[in-house]
Amino acid sequence: MSNDLTIQRTAEAVESPLVINSILESGVRNAPEQEIVYADQRRMSYRDLEERVNRLAGALAECGVKPGDTVAVMDWDTHRYLEAFFAIPMMGAVLHTVNVRLSPEQILYTLNHAEDDVILVNREFLPVLEELKDRIETVKRYVLLDDEGGNLDSQLDIAGEYEALLQQAPAQFDFPELDENTRATTFYTTGTTGLPKGVYFSHRQLVLHTFAGRAALSGSGHGRFNQDDVY
């Protein structure tokens, strides 16, 4: 008698792809009113985050972003980065996280190498892009990220201000079904010889990184971390 165990799946069984939509959906499902706080600028729940992700996707689609495009973000670690981290890859586009601490020439290299189509840029970094604008090769539109308000006098083709664009966008967006190996994010290494080196993560890799991080933080010992903690 054989000791081999064979497990057969029913015909109806479906293996869900590892896409980052599932991370957002899990937060909304399990803790819809859990609060997310960005400094003294914004407080929102996971339910609010989901709506803002949908609105951002709609706003970017109105700016011409489509699956396969690359959208760069030049911002500090704000709530906008969190929203872009979901909205852009969930559209089937690629999020380029621009390292704002690079020199202007290195930033220019990464923008052109990544072939960015749209840049979301914090008002603080507008002078950098204005200095480079005549040598930026593929970018078609810019979106202003602004915590300060006030008049804007820019040489760039600004499609609009982030919050204003979100208000005008629909609260629901029809995200496409994606293969889990679809490229989700790209970034460039620093501290290496020569020019910055491009690296990317797929949806599958990001989800697996999340699982690994959660397992490490929720393990026994001083690093224990659970859903009731505030990080």
pLDDT one-digit tens code per residue, 114-125? 999 999 999 999
What is the structure's pLDDT at 12? 59
Contact 109, 67 (CB under 8 A): no
The dihedral built from the CA positions of residue 164, 96, 147 and 174, taken in this order, carries a sign that is: positive
Residues of the chain with pLDDT > 90, as a percent, come to: 72
What is the structure's pLDDT at 89? 98
How far is it, in rounded angstroms, from Cα 185 to Cα 91?
Answer: 12
Residue 182 region, left (φ>0) first, then alpha (ψ -120 to 50), else beta? beta
What is the structure's pLDDT at 214? 78
Residues 186-228 have pLDDT tens digits of 999 887 788 999 999 999 999 999 888 877 777 665 556 776 7
What is the structure's pLDDT at 13? 55
How far is it, in rounded angstroms, from Cα 41 to Cα 158?
Answer: 23
| CATH 3.40.50.12780 applies to domain 21-217 | yes
What pTM was estimated for this model as a whole? 0.89
Average confidence (pLDDT) over 164-188: 97
Residues 141-152 have pLDDT tens digits of 999 999 877 667
Average confidence (pLDDT) over 124-130: 95
